[in-house]
Structure 1
Amino acid sequence: MFEEDKDNKIYNLIISSGKDENNEYNQFLEKIYSKTDFLWKESVSSSYLTASDEFFNKVDLVIILSGIYKENSEKIDELVKASLKHTKPILLVRPYGEEEVPENLEEVATGIVGWNANCIIGDIKNIVNS
């Protein structure tokens, strides 16, 4: 597909959230909202470990914001476990302004990306459409 071809797919994403002193969740949303030609929606569950197969069948990709991992490790570990159980790819976003990611997350990630909006959208599309 050429860059000028319109991608009409609506990507269904799970984006990790939780205690977020550096506002990484909202910064991440700003990045993907800035790409007006990228169509997406976010799926949320109160417990990903108990979410149904039907819920996960609709999900295209799980995005883990590794900058919030330290304060939300239990919740994110549950999300990772559920993602692996349902064979959903995981895109790991580096902590804002840093290169290092938690090793346990790096081991299960399908891809790792920084904070460039074009790179984020490109990686989402590449992972989901490959």
Structure 2
Amino acid sequence: MFEDERDDKIYNLIITNGFDKNKEYGQFTEKLYSKTDFLWKESMSGAYASAGEEFYQKVDRIIMLAGLYSDNKELFDDLLNASKKYDIPIVLVRPIGVEEVPEVLEENAATIVGWNANCIIDSIKDAPETM
């Protein structure tokens, strides 16, 4: 890696979790950990609907694992609302093995990505700051 290409930013992410019958959250975080040149941390809240500006102003991206949507709609709705209110880009990750994503998520995503680790990292880094 060339010195001028090095990205030392630590990305602060919210990654959707919740009821996860296919263990997508664990698989996704493994992809992030596999890229040792990508620095990140995760912000979590017990209630995203009531987390305020102080919490969200530190968040760089909201990662939505579309495969978890049907079992966690309230969580996704809370994060969609926060994304709009605090202007946080959404990186939408397709369900494993499926190309289609829920329309409401697609309409609000800054970018949509599959499960390739390099593509995930590029999508996080390159997601437009404004939607």
Q: TM (normalized to structure 2)?
A: 0.93
Q: Deviations over 1:14-62 (max 9, x none)?
A: 0000000000000000101000000000000111111111111100000
- The runs of 4+ residues in structure 1 deviating greater than 2 Å are none
Q: Residue 45 of structure 1 aligns with which residue?
A: 45
Matches within 5 A, 1:4-15: 4=2, 5-15=5-15
Q: CA RMSD in A?
A: 1.4
How far apart, in 1, do the equivalents of 2:129 and 2:87 lie? 15
**Displacement after TM superposition at 1:129 (Å):** 7.0
Matches within 5 A, 1:1-130: 4=2, 5-127=5-127
SS in structure 2 at match of 1:69: helix
The number of residue pairs the alignment matches comes to 128
**Displacement after TM superposition at 1:94 (Å):** 0.1
One-letter code aligned to 2:80: V
Structure 2: tracts of 5 or more residues without a match: none
Query: Would you say the 8 A contact 1:61–1:128 is kept in 2?
Result: no
Structure 1: tracts of 5 or more residues without a match: none
Most deviating of 117-126 and 48-57: 48-57
SS in structure 2 at match of 1:54: helix
Q: TM (normalized to structure 1)?
A: 0.94
